[in-house]
Structure 1
Amino acid sequence: MSTHITVLPEDFQKAVKQSGSSLRPLQLPHPRTGLRALFVYHGSTLLELHSVTPDTPRSWFVGESVVSNGNLMLMTPIDPVFILIPFLQGLDPKAPFKPTDDFLEEALLSYSPPDINKQDVALFMTLGCARRALKQLCETKVIPPDISVHKPSPERITAFIKRRLERVISAQAVPEPSTSEPASDSTLQPSSGSTPGKVQSFPTIQRQHLRLGLSVEELGPLDCPKAQAIRAATRIKIAGEIVGNWVEESLMAEILATYDISAYTNHATARAEHGLNLRPQLPEQRRLKLVKGGNQKQETSEKLEPRLPVG
């Protein structure tokens, strides 16, 4: 059996150790692409597996041993609701209520991407986390004494994704500028009174803000109405990219179309045009080439055309 180096959440690791059980991998369709992806579950937690492959062959030193496989396995939590969404999208929202088992069986038949592992999907459908996820995506009724029935609800699916978008948008919120001190952009300098969930807690999002031009130096002070509109629209765009990692592309585009991000679009266009106009003209590049029919070298020159900056 091959050995892999894995990084997983500490609380999940403790729960597995305490239970003494092993992790059961599941091959499930990825909610965005439909392609096979690996997941593991324990209790009510579902983790997605990612393999980070180095550019060159590498090994790990673990104590006195050497692990020849230099890949790094990352296990990151994922909401089981995202896994269910593609299965429910193909169902008729006008269909009558059905008991849980019948409803999930119909959902499994309605969505069959290539190379689907139906056995693992069926096992996932029996998990408690999957059954609880149904209540967020479907209309659910309880028939006494203990029978739950469900019917598809596109509105609930949209509402769930929008809630996730709003959470990511709010996590990027910047503090209101103080009237006694100059406004500073938290995407550049974390404030001392910041709380977990602010953008400074997420370096990846912080870099996104800088890349898209949200700094005070480029965009202007926080209390400028135009700058506020651009920042708000850009946060929606970033949230769409993050949540869109687990949502089918056309569905994500449909939901994002309900938001107004025109301020970001105009800002991005202006930045691209401004960057092109400011790009210096490159001097003539001189090079030597062999003169045809001999070994003599002749100096020639050519002008390099300016190119639109990438990113």
Structure 2
Amino acid sequence: MSAHPAVIPKELLSYIEAHDPPRCLRLPHPRTTLPALFLPLNAPPSEDGLVGTSVIFEVQSIAPDARRSWFLGPGEVVSDGKLLIIAPIDPIFILIPLLEALPEGTNNRFLPMRDLADEIANVFTRSPPTAEDGSAVVPPIDTGDLSALGEIDCIAAALRRICDVKEPAPGLEVFKFASSNALEIVRAKVDRLATSSTFAAFPSLVRSLAKDDIDATCGDDTLLSQARIKAACDFMSQYLSPAWKEQLLASYNFDRLDLHMKALADEAQAAITRAEPEPKLKDATNAPNKKPKKGSVGVEKLKKVNVAGMSKLSSFFTKKA
């Protein structure tokens, strides 16, 4: 069996040490809908001290640009230099594009969670995801993996957060997707990330402000707040479709940031204009005084020949008396 170095959360590592590793699911990625790997941990309460846990992880593989190897110990080398990163993901990001993909008639009905999972599986069976050039994606998404979502506790909890929920009978819950609920939850995540203390803990976000010539010490609180929110939206959009990113950005006011960005663009354009050389104009007044252009070597030698007493060339073509 091949081995790969990996970054694994503690709760997953504890579960794997006591149980068989859970099976990965191939599901549509929240942003692209192309197949991606996710690892559900649905551990029931047990007597070995592990509490009941339900969480889903995203599995990412980071491959180096050039050939690399891992040295794990004396005499142990992994020739494949990839690094696996397994990190928890909020299930709402997985669910939003799946629920939006349902036909309008289905999306407007209240359905049990199991039926919702089956409907989602049917949609992706009829219209499998394709690459940007229109070619089929290989390997395809397994409908069994999509149906398995109905068996994961954290998925049911996420559905209650982003859906309208009814209980037509004792023990029976039915769900209907409410995009306004989902947007409110995503906005709450953005607002939390955009607070000054949390934002400062992410160097990549702080650097994104410097790129737009925004300094935390500039004293313009409105500009700083809007810039942090915009950067947080961009960060969150890694797990949102382009349409949802536009919807998220449209829910905020960036008027002060837009003015700042326009001023930067105008300043950059002015700098380019100043750097361009001015066109040279011909000086018509001095044109007659310009030094005549020097001829070729042969022409210059002919100019120095003594032509005194020589007949003109035209004389050879006149009539003789």
**Contact persistence 1:168–1:239 (CA under 8 A):** yes
TM-superposed deviation, 1:143: 4.0
- Amino acid across the alignment from 1:266: L
SS in 1 for 2:194: helix
**Contact persistence 1:34–1:113 (CA under 8 A):** no
Which of 154, 164, 169 is 2:179 aligned to? 154
**Contact persistence 2:71–2:78 (CA under 8 A):** yes
Compare CA radii of gyration and give the structure with the larger one: 2
> RMSD of the TM alignment (CA)?
2.4
Query: 1:211 maps to what in 2?
Result: 211
SS in 2 for 1:74: strand
Query: 2:11 maps to what in 1?
Result: 11
What are the superposed Cα offsets for residues 23-79 of structure 1, whole Å, 9 maximum, x if unpaired?
A: 321111001111011111223121112221112111110112001001111112111
SS in 1 for 2:66: coil
| Total equivalences in the alignment | 250
Deviating more after overlay: 133-142 vs 143-152: 143-152
**Contact persistence 1:35–1:113 (CA under 8 A):** no
Which of 188, 193, 209 is 1:163 aligned to? 188
**Contact persistence 1:87–1:108 (CA under 8 A):** no
Matching of residue 108 in structure 1 with residue 107 in structure 2: no
Which of 84, 88, 95 is 1:73 aligned to? 84
SS in 2 for 1:24: coil
Matching of residue 59 in structure 1 with residue 69 in structure 2: yes
Query: 2:255 maps to what in 1?
Result: 262
TM-superposed deviation, 1:157: 2.2
Query: 2:112 maps to what in 1?
Result: 99
- Mapped partners of 1:198, 1:130: distance in 2: 27
Matching of residue 240 in structure 1 with residue 251 in structure 2: no
TM-superposed deviation, 1:158: 2.0
The alignment-based identity, stated in percent, is 30
TM-superposed deviation, 1:129: 1.2
- Structure 1 residues 49, 145: CA separation in 2 closer, same or farther (over 3 Å shift)? same
- Mapped partners of 1:152, 1:117: distance in 2: 23
What are the superposed Cα offsets for residues 123-173 of structure 1, whole Å, 9 maximum, x if unpaired?
A: 123211111111011111234431111122222222222222222223xx2
- Mapped partners of 1:125, 1:165: distance in 2: 28
- Mapped partners of 1:75, 1:130: distance in 2: 18
- Structure 1 residues 96, 231: CA separation in 2 closer, same or farther (over 3 Å shift)? same
Matching of residue 85 in structure 1 with residue 84 in structure 2: no
Query: 1:31 maps to what in 2?
Result: 30
What are the superposed Cα offsets for residues 269-295 of structure 1, whole Å, 9 maximum, x if unpaired?
A: 222332454478499xxxxxxxxxxxx
- Mapped partners of 1:241, 1:216: distance in 2: 19
Larger helix share, 1 or 2: 2
- Mapped partners of 2:79, 2:39: distance in 1: 24
Query: 1:194 maps to what in 2?
Result: none
TM-superposed deviation, 1:95: 3.2
- Mapped partners of 1:207, 1:75: distance in 2: 25
What are the superposed Cα offsets for residues 200-248 of structure 1, whole Å, 9 maximum, x if unpaired?
A: 321111212222222156xx32xxxxx2222122112111111111111
- Structure 1 residues 244, 262: CA separation in 2 closer, same or farther (over 3 Å shift)? same
- Structure 1 residues 11, 96: CA separation in 2 closer, same or farther (over 3 Å shift)? closer
What are the superposed Cα offsets for residues 84-107 of structure 1, whole Å, 9 maximum, x if unpaired?
A: 111211444873422222233223
- Mapped partners of 2:149, 2:175: distance in 1: 18
Query: 1:230 maps to what in 2?
Result: 223
- Taking structure 1 as the reference length, the TM-score comes to 0.73
SS in 1 for 2:68: coil
- Mapped partners of 2:128, 2:117: distance in 1: 16
Structure 1: runs of 5 or more not aligned: 174-196, 222-226, 284-311
- Structure 1 residues 118, 97: CA separation in 2 closer, same or farther (over 3 Å shift)? same
SS in 2 for 1:148: strand
- Amino acid across the alignment from 1:103: L
**Contact persistence 1:40–1:46 (CA under 8 A):** yes
- Structure 1 residues 108, 159: CA separation in 2 closer, same or farther (over 3 Å shift)? farther
